[in-house]
Amino acid sequence: MLQNIHLKGVGPAPELNLDFAHRLNLLTGDNGLGKTFVLDIAWWALTGTWADRPARPREDTDIPLIEYGIPSFISDIGTPMIPTGVQAAYNFREEEWIEDMDWRSAAVGSLVLYARVDGSFSVWDSLRNSFRGIIPISKGGYNFSGSSLWDGLFDEGRVLCEGIIRDWVAWQRQTTEAFQQLREVLRILSPEEEELLPGEPTRVSVNDVRDHPTLSMPYGRVPLIFASAGVKRVISLAYLLVWAWQEHQYAAKLLREAPADQIVFLVDEIESHLHPKWQRRILPALLKVAASLRDDVKVQVLVTTHSPLVLASAEPLFDEEKDALFTFDLKDGQVGVARADWRSRGDACSWLTSDVFDLKEARSHEAEKAIQQAKAAMRQPNLTIEERRRIHHELNAVLKDTDPFWGRWLVQAKAAGIEP
């Protein structure tokens, strides 16, 4: 689990500090303020590898630093093997980050899954992706592009992963534990009224000899490769979780080691491609899926989101002792991040007009401007009748008769002599 991150001279701000909750961490704020960057740093801190390019220092600093904390790992004889705090400095000549100790502070006993908004994924396994020995040193995770996730991941002749198409069909035909887990994870991640149910495999082309997995939809059987972008993202997340867990169990048996007892999810824009009914389902479901694998697994989630429905969906489960909401803001040309005081808003519209999203109205931009003018006019009793008529016509053009504000405005408009 990741305790904290401190950045100095790297990223969108001269300095950033985040102290993470041990279960759910929600990162929200405007585009371009560093939410995805924090996930990239979190992945590196947990795994010792970069999912994409290494972070580059800011141009205005000569001594960039990354500090992070992970709970200590205690060996069988009671000796601390991994400290809680690690500091890394940037070596400009080598263009890499160098930590202040010889051992890797990777997430021992963990699985780490990183879902990026472009459809790519990364998986890191503390058993398969670390050199063995007293000192664990990361040797890289599994980085999946959109194609390798479906068709398989290979490295120098080695098959690292068969991919969704082959694994799904093999699990299904062999009626394996993996397929039962996959069905359960899909059930948890999908809305009750639109449950993702596996169908019978089928061929999709005379030029592709593989049988392809399908979904059983109300209107018929649909091969996975033809599913919507949102469904594919949910399927990808479900598959990778089950695949990583199954392969971790095999590794634990081969290495004669205890399996992981914690899973860390990093998800960028968790609502990406999802219909609102899926958006309000995905976050609570993500916290439940690990329990479907093993009921004593601890889960930490770091997600970025721009969705008020995602935040509204967190209200029934949010616990300030275990969860945190972070807001990224731009003030006076500087990016800042703060752990916000959690307060339930009740619905998505209330979240939109809260200090989290900073919208004045949960309406169109034109309606917001018209309403702001009207509110100002309602506070000015000496405003001319011509100006009130202009505001009245602008409101009438952007608001429906059933809009609550329209009724409030009509009372004053009639009192001023303006006819509907």
Classify the phi-psi angles of 391: left when phi > 0, otherwise alpha if psi is within -120 to 50, otherwise beta: alpha
Residue 131's pLDDT band (boundaries 50, 70, 90)? low
Which residues have C-beta within 8 Å of that of residue 66, sequence separation ≥ 6?
5, 6, 7, 8, 10, 41, 44, 45, 55, 87, 88, 97
Interval 324-377: pLDDT, tens:
999 999 888 889 999 999 999 989 999 999 989 988 888 889 999 999 999 998
Q: Which pLDDT score, from 0 to 100, does residue 80 have?
A: 46
Q: Which pLDDT score, from 0 to 100, does residue 49 have?
A: 86
Phi, psi values for residue 77, rounded to 5°: -95, 10
Mean pLDDT of 176-189: 93
How would you write 80-123 as a 3-class SS string?
A: EEECCEEEEEEECCCCEEEECCCCCCCCCCEEEEEECCCCCEEE
Interval 242-272: pLDDT, tens:
999 999 999 999 989 888 889 999 999 999 9
Q: Are 243 and 167 in contact (CB under 8 A)?
A: yes
Q: Which pLDDT score, from 0 to 100, does residue 39 have?
A: 96
pTM listed for this prediction: 0.89
If one compares 223 and 417, the residue with the highest pLDDT of the two is 223
CA distances in angstroms from 230 to 233, 236, 242, 279, listed in the order given: 5, 10, 19, 10
Tracing tokens 């209330």 back to the chain, one arrives at 350
Measured CA to CA, the distance from residue 261 to residue 44 in angstroms comes to 20
Mean pLDDT of 279-289: 92
Measured CA to CA, the distance from residue 108 to residue 252 in angstroms comes to 13
Q: Is the pLDDT at 76 greater than 60, yes or no?
A: no
Residue 85's pLDDT band (boundaries 50, 70, 90)? confident
Measured CA to CA, the distance from residue 39 to residue 46 in angstroms comes to 10
- For the chain, first and last CA: distance in Å? 61
Q: How high does pLDDT run on average in the chain?
A: 88
CA angle 313, 315, 316 (to 5 degrees): 95
DSSP characters over 283-340: HHHHHHHHHHH-TT-EEEEEEE---HHHHHHTTTT--TTTEEEEEEEEETTEEEEEEE
- The first and second tokens of residue 184, run together, are 């359960």
Q: What SS3 class is residue 406? A: helix
Sort strands 262-267 and 298-304 into parallel, antiparallel or unpaired: parallel
Q: Are 357 and 340 in contact (CB under 8 A)?
A: no
Q: Is the pLDDT at 82 greater than 70, yes or no?
A: no
Tell me how far the alpha carbon of residue 418 is from its chain's centroid: 51
- C-alpha R_g of the chain: 26
pLDDT above 90 coverage of the chain, percent:
58
Q: How does 52-91 read in b/e, with b if 16+ C-beta sit within 10 Å?
A: eeebebeeeeeebbbbbbbeebeeeeeeebbeeebebbbe
